A = this chain, B = another copy of it.
Amino acid sequence: MLAEIITIGDEILIGQIVDTNSAWMAHELNNIGIRIKQISSVSDDRQHILTALDEAAGRADVILITGGLGPTKDDITKKTLCEYFGVGMVLNQEALDNVQNIFQRLRGTLTGLLEVNKQQALVPQNCVVIQNKNGTAPGMWFNEKGKIFVSMPGVPHEMMYMMEDDVIPKLKSSLVLPVIIHKTILTVGEGESYLAERIADIEDSLPAHIKLAYLPKLGQVRLRLSGYGENEALLKQEVNEYAQKIIERVANVVAAEEDIPIEKAILDYMDGKGLTLSIAESCTGGYISQLFTQHPGASRVFFGGGVTYSNELKEIILGVKKDTLAQFGAVSKEVATEMVEGALRNFKSGYAIAVTGIAGPDGGTAEKPVGTVYIAVANVNKTIVKKLTFGNKRRQNIERSAISALNMLNTLLHDSGKLG
């Protein structure tokens, strides 16, 4: 069963927003056994939308469309869908009630409700309306031309609720779905081609309906096995058997046996062992903390920490010595060490991370150019500090510092686990 996603809106094509919807939708669809053939982003242009609908319908059975449903003039998806299906618009009373309820809740009155707001309740006459619990634009489900078309708002949380509450259940009940099983192994600390060499014979032995992909990213490589078939239990077992062979082969670099980011693997590991963590961030400025705290249950492991951006806060919050800052500078092995040990001491966690560096683009010197970062990880027994040198891109320096810190903590945890 194949689907395509069409996102409509100039804002994606001029690079003003990143299309996060498609990845989320693709993930949800894959979970129920629907493969995405293509994702296309097209402009708020009548002819372009019509062509994209035609091309997608020529390749796939399910076409999911997001965007272009707002109340303003640049939003033409609904009108264009009417043209595509050769139908007119009708008023949907439930959608109008919803528009009025939202308006009433936000403004405390219906006075001032605009004609464009009311128009949001107009829908193509051949659609089944999917009510929007989080906004004014209704979703629309079409059974036409032997295909399923679904049009949803581009606002992520409106689309997500609609998918979870209505579209996914309706797809499951409307279609006979094949089975796709993905199994991902997260590895840390070995390059893609080395991994490939180590598991070459396992890869060569894979049957045609199981594929292996390498997804490398900053010191990590995800190995993803994808199996396609009909019998879910059998396929799962088969994919898992190959996964176990790979895991055994490269056990020394496996950080997780599922598709989770490294910080989640760390949280799970620490939670399982009752370990606790705090963080002292300078150049990463809260980035590492929010990586951890985006995950439910982070509070069982993560106490918190200091975003000690200024030197003064390094002293106040972490107890870094004024002398150390003066003698070695904020970006130094010595300060990183005092930061991580200050975090352990002041925040009373079992493990700590500290990062201090020059993210750039300013602040570099000949001796310490932009991209110079000191990362420390520690527990009560051991402090490890590394100097790393990245490039001159701020965002990248922050992200790489974070990933490096996580990789270091992961190694410290597993080494400590082995020793202890």
Contacts and interface: CB of A to CB of B under 8 A. Distances in A.
Interface of A: 10-20, 22-30, 35-44, 48, 52, 55, 70-74, 106, 114, 116-117, 134, 155, 157, 160, 182, 184, 191-194, 196-197, 203, 211-217, 222, 224, 226, 259, 278-279, 281-290, 292-294, 296-299, 302-310, 312-313, 316-317, 346-348, 359-363, 391, 393-396, 398
B348 A394 contact: no
Contacts of A19: 18-19, 22-23, 39
A216 B303 contact: no
Contacts of A70: 192, 214, 216
A361 B297 CA distance: 8
Given A15-B30, A19-B19, A290-B287, A309 B313 contact: no
A216 to B, nearest CB: 7
A398 B292 CA distance: 13
- Shortest beta-carbon contacts, A-B, top 3: A285-B293, A286-B289, A15-B27
A13 B26 contact: yes
Nearest to A197: B114
A70 B213 CA distance: 11
A303 B294 contact: no
Contacts of A211: 74
Name the residue in A19, A43, A184, A194 with the highest tally of chain B Cβ atoms < 10 Å from its Cβ.
Answer: A19
Given A286-B293, A290-B284, A393-B157, A306 B304 contact: yes
A42 B306 CA distance: 43
Given A19-B23, A285-B290, A38 B40 contact: yes
Contacts of A297: 362
Nearest to A43: B37
Given A15-B28, A316-B347, A362 B296 contact: yes
Given A70-B214, A394-B296, A306 B307 contact: yes
A279 B192 CA distance: 40
Contact of A294 (B14, B72, B394): B394
Contacts of A216: 70, 155
A142 to B, nearest CB: 22
A36 to B, nearest CB: 4
Given A289-B285, A309-B299, A309-B302, A17 B23 contact: yes
A310 B306 contact: no
B193 A116 contact: yes
A197 B30 CA distance: 42
Given A22-B19, A213-B10, A303 B310 contact: yes
A39 B37 contact: no
A42 B48 contact: no
Contacts of A278: 313
A282 to B, nearest CB: 8
Contact of A226 (B14, B313, B396): B14
Given A193-B71, A307-B279, A215 B294 contact: no
A406 to B, nearest CB: 14
A285 B30 CA distance: 31
Contacts of A283: 293
A288 B286 CA distance: 8
A266 to B, nearest CB: 15
Contacts of A25: 15
A121 to B, nearest CB: 13
A214 B72 contact: yes
Nearest to A75: B214
A74 B213 contact: yes
A116 B198 CA distance: 13
Name the residue in A19, A40, A43, A309 with the highest tally of chain B Cβ atoms < 10 Å from its Cβ.
Answer: A309
